[in-house]
Amino acid sequence: MVDKRHWTKTYRRDVENLRLAQDLTSLRNKVFIAVDIKWDEEEPSTILEIGLAVLDLRPGRLKPKRFPPSTWAIRPRHIIIRENVDIHNTHARSNKYGFKFGKSYFTKLEKAIEIVQGTLDQYNAEDVVVIGHYFSLDRTRLEDAGVDIDEDTVTFDTAGLERAWSRRVNAHRRSLRSICESMEIPYYREDKLGNAGNDAFFAMAIFSEMCCE
């Protein structure tokens, strides 16, 4: 075990964030929204897909009504950007048509941004917590496209939370695939990865596993 005096600043922040995330889920009065964005690897400002997954822990909203919550309580959504439908990445895994938790929606980027903003805005700002895996890049893409994430909104990166949860002091942050496999996340298969809707669902499932006790 690495002495706390040798913890890096980022690992200390991960530990603090894990405690905060667990405290917030224990209140059972927050709405957790996972976001995943896929963009053109040659032109990063070009968004190809958006995935959302909502876990509503507010009183009377959790269905099935049990805690820790079942993955059945996670409500995923997948949006394919119509004007970029023919763009497929070659280096990063492309799985645009592989959404496994419902129907994919085809819409223009402008409408997709309205949907994301509407998802955030339909709840009281103080009730919303936003989650992602390596979330800082996704947040940048969303905000550049016009989504307004309130500066006071609490956000968590599941890659950092997992490092603290697993007590891998100062270690590298792990991929979504690696975490899903080690945690044996329900409904996970490697061939489901690379789809924004599936990845948002898995990020939320990971978050729930670590933080809902």
Split at pLDDT 50, 70, 90, the class of 182 is very high
The domain in which residue 193 lies consists of 4-211
**30-68 b/e (C-beta count within 10 Å ≥ 16 → b):** bbbbbbbbbbeeeeeebbbbbbbbbbbbeeeebeeeeee
Number of structural domains the chain divides into: 1
pLDDT score recorded for residue 91:
77
Q: What's the pLDDT tens digit per position in 29-73?
A: 999 999 999 999 999 999 999 999 999 999 989 888 888 898 999
CA-CA distance, 200 to 90, in Å (whole number)?
Answer: 21
Q: What's the pLDDT tens digit per position in 93-102?
A: 789 999 999 9
Q: What is the CATH number of the domain that holds 124?
A: 3.30.420.10
Give the CA distances from residue 195 to residues 16, 36, 67, 76, 161, in Å, rounded to whole numbers and listed in that order. 30, 9, 28, 12, 22
- Count of residues making up the chain: 213
pTM for the model: 0.94
Burial of 86 (C-beta count, 10 Å sphere; 0-12/13-18/19+): exposed
Over residues 121-150, the mean pLDDT reads 94
**Helix 135-145, helix 109-121: angle, nearest 10:** 110
pLDDT score recorded for residue 1:
60
pLDDT score recorded for residue 68:
85
**Six-digit token pair at 78?**
């997948």
Whether residue 28 is predicted with pLDDT greater than 90 in this model: the reply is: yes
Q: What's the pLDDT tens digit per position in 71-84?
A: 999 999 999 999 99
Split at pLDDT 50, 70, 90, the class of 2 is low
Average pLDDT taken over every residue of the chain: 94
pLDDT score recorded for residue 94:
84
